Chain A
């Protein structure tokens, strides 16, 4: 099922949560809406679900306009941020709710409901917890019940609002991989909201980066990371050093004088896109002193203070670190090898 969002605008009082947003989610893909809080990503998800009415624009599911359709008829599975499990029902009844709520004609037999619920509970590895109440489950287990409950109605589209937001780091990583596997198995068109770029990168086929009610860029995690279309995306995705400088005759000038003269550009350099040398190396390089070194990582993290007094974060391989014999207080020459100017 393809999801298409066309020119959606949504205001809350004077605040514009979404400003003429358009987006397409190809059938069978898993898309992340990524952005800082207040960027409108949850609002967009709730509008796709039908939980919120847009002031303008349309939501199309497989080319059919759903804007005026009743919530119940959309066939959308929704996983809430805080799970919203029915607290007075056990796990089985939570998952069975959607099937039991069907009108008499389409409601499955009791035996079939039982069978389908247990099939889902096995899928989320919770079959032995079927008679527990939500308050007796851990956060990760609740999340999986919420997912099983949403899948029970055989939705054409699955929407997840900060699915891992309130879990601790370890469980988060585990559930993340698990969601990806589940999606590869079921191939339901899915959209999930997150403010965690690592999460979006790891799980999603496509990422839509949002800021202040706009979608800034849509693309594969690779494209968004390596070819950010604007300064916001570059700043938001991955670690990055921000310089003020400009290109002069094909070479990059980052020093203070360039930053002050005229209108400097914003120059973005990832921590691993530097070359460190003991002697000056070409016109792009600048001088810096080593402030701090953290070698207890896959890449050695070096914090530098540039000649104009700005902090620079550099990641270098252990081999380079040893060859350079880096020490605190040492003076070093830094050359950006890859950068982006906006």
Chain B
């Protein structure tokens, strides 16, 4: 063998599949993604605009549709901030303190992810429904939870509990409590330590968690479906409205509303991507500058 062949081999990695196999594998993956992910999303928009832009906009301006949009925004506006506060508090407690039953708390936070959303909805019906444990008492005091806004908010809170906390726990555990201890030793109050040290350190993880939490809060179907009662113009969120319209064969209207949710999903993806990019940059920037 001439010595040159060693040299040409040196550039190749020791373990590498033949070209044909690489193209085949990549091709299969791309076709699969196009077929099962991109195409359906595109079809949503195609369906929504099937009868023209005018019909699309008309469908979105229906009172029921507007009410569904408002309801969805309202639910997210309550559930997301509450779960953000809870998530930060829980992650803080779990990452920075030692206490008994910590493993149990972590498991508990994950519970909504392992329980079917329909079950989560049913649990709340069992608690607050007309025949539930607190039902008679609530009826006596004229408080309606099930088939009303409070119920929808409660189940949404339940299913979105894990998102912020799960994002922050590993991050804060990795960062440890050293910087906070240093800040307190330098005379900072607990509040100041949180705002000037903890929060900047978890910023990107927190935003990421909030985005995921928001996407789930707006898109939740199963649990909300159980407690909402499907009252048109009152307790239908966007996903429920899509289902109703679809069952009534109003395809254009159904797709129009669905396109809003699809847009939300796309927006979430874009923000997620930007946040990930930012976080990577924030992490690696100093080293790059160091080289320069």
A positions within 8 Å CB-CB of B: 49, 51, 71-72, 76-78, 80, 82, 84-88, 97-98, 101-102, 133-136, 149-150, 152-153
What would be 15 A-B contacts, judged by CB atoms less than 8 Å apart?
Answer: A72-B187, A78-B181, A78-B182, A80-B181, A80-B182, A84-B181, A84-B182, A85-B182, A86-B183, A86-B197, A98-B187, A98-B188, A101-B188, A136-B286, A150-B185
Bound: A148/B282 CA distance, A: 25
Would A82 and B178 count as touching, CB distance under 8 A?
Answer: yes
7 closest Cβ contacts across the A-B interface? A98-B186, A84-B178, A135-B286, A101-B188, A84-B182, A78-B185, A88-B200
B positions within 8 Å CB-CB of A: 178-179, 181-189, 192, 196-197, 200-201, 282, 286-287, 289-290
Given contacts A72-B187, A85-B179, A86-B197, 10 further A-B contacts (CB under 8 A): A51-B185, A71-B185, A72-B185, A76-B185, A88-B282, A98-B186, A98-B187, A98-B188, A135-B287, A152-B186
Would B187 and A153 count as touching, CB distance under 8 A?
Answer: yes
Report whether over half of chain A's contact residues are helix, strand or loop; otherwise say mixed.
mixed
Chain B residues whose CB sits within 8 angstroms of the CB of A153 once the complex forms: 186-187
- Knowing A51-B181, A84-B181, A136-B286, the reply to whether A97 touches B201 (Cβ < 8 A) is no
Nearest to B282 among chain A residues (CB) is: A88
Bound: A82/B287 CA distance, A: 19
Would A71 and B184 count as touching, CB distance under 8 A?
Answer: yes
In whole Å, how far is A170's beta carbon from the nearest beta carbon of chain B? 20
In whole Å, how far is A211's beta carbon from the nearest beta carbon of chain B? 26
Would B188 and A97 count as touching, CB distance under 8 A?
Answer: yes
Bound: A136/B185 CA distance, A: 24
Nearest to B193 among chain A residues (CB) is: A101
In whole Å, how far is A163's beta carbon from the nearest beta carbon of chain B? 14
Would A101 and B178 count as touching, CB distance under 8 A?
Answer: no
- Knowing A133-B286, A136-B289, the reply to whether A102 touches B187 (Cβ < 8 A) is yes
Would B289 and A77 count as touching, CB distance under 8 A?
Answer: no
Give which listed residue, B179, B182, B184, B287, contacts A72 with CB less than 8 A: B184
Would A86 and B187 count as touching, CB distance under 8 A?
Answer: no
- Knowing A80-B178, A80-B181, A87-B179, the reply to whether A101 touches B186 (Cβ < 8 A) is yes
Would B183 and A97 count as touching, CB distance under 8 A?
Answer: yes
Would B186 and A97 count as touching, CB distance under 8 A?
Answer: yes
Chain B residues whose CB sits within 8 angstroms of the CB of A97 once the complex forms: 183, 186, 188, 196
In whole Å, how far is A53's beta carbon from the nearest beta carbon of chain B? 13
In whole Å, how far is A198's beta carbon from the nearest beta carbon of chain B? 27
Would B182 and A86 count as touching, CB distance under 8 A?
Answer: yes
Chain A residues whose CB sits within 8 angstroms of the CB of B183 once the complex forms: 86, 97, 101
Chain A residues whose CB sits within 8 angstroms of the CB of B181 once the complex forms: 51, 78, 80, 84
- Knowing A135-B287, A136-B286, the reply to whether A86 touches B179 (Cβ < 8 A) is yes
Bound: A85/B197 CA distance, A: 10
Bound: A210/B290 CA distance, A: 41
In whole Å, how far is A295's beta carbon from the nearest beta carbon of chain B? 44
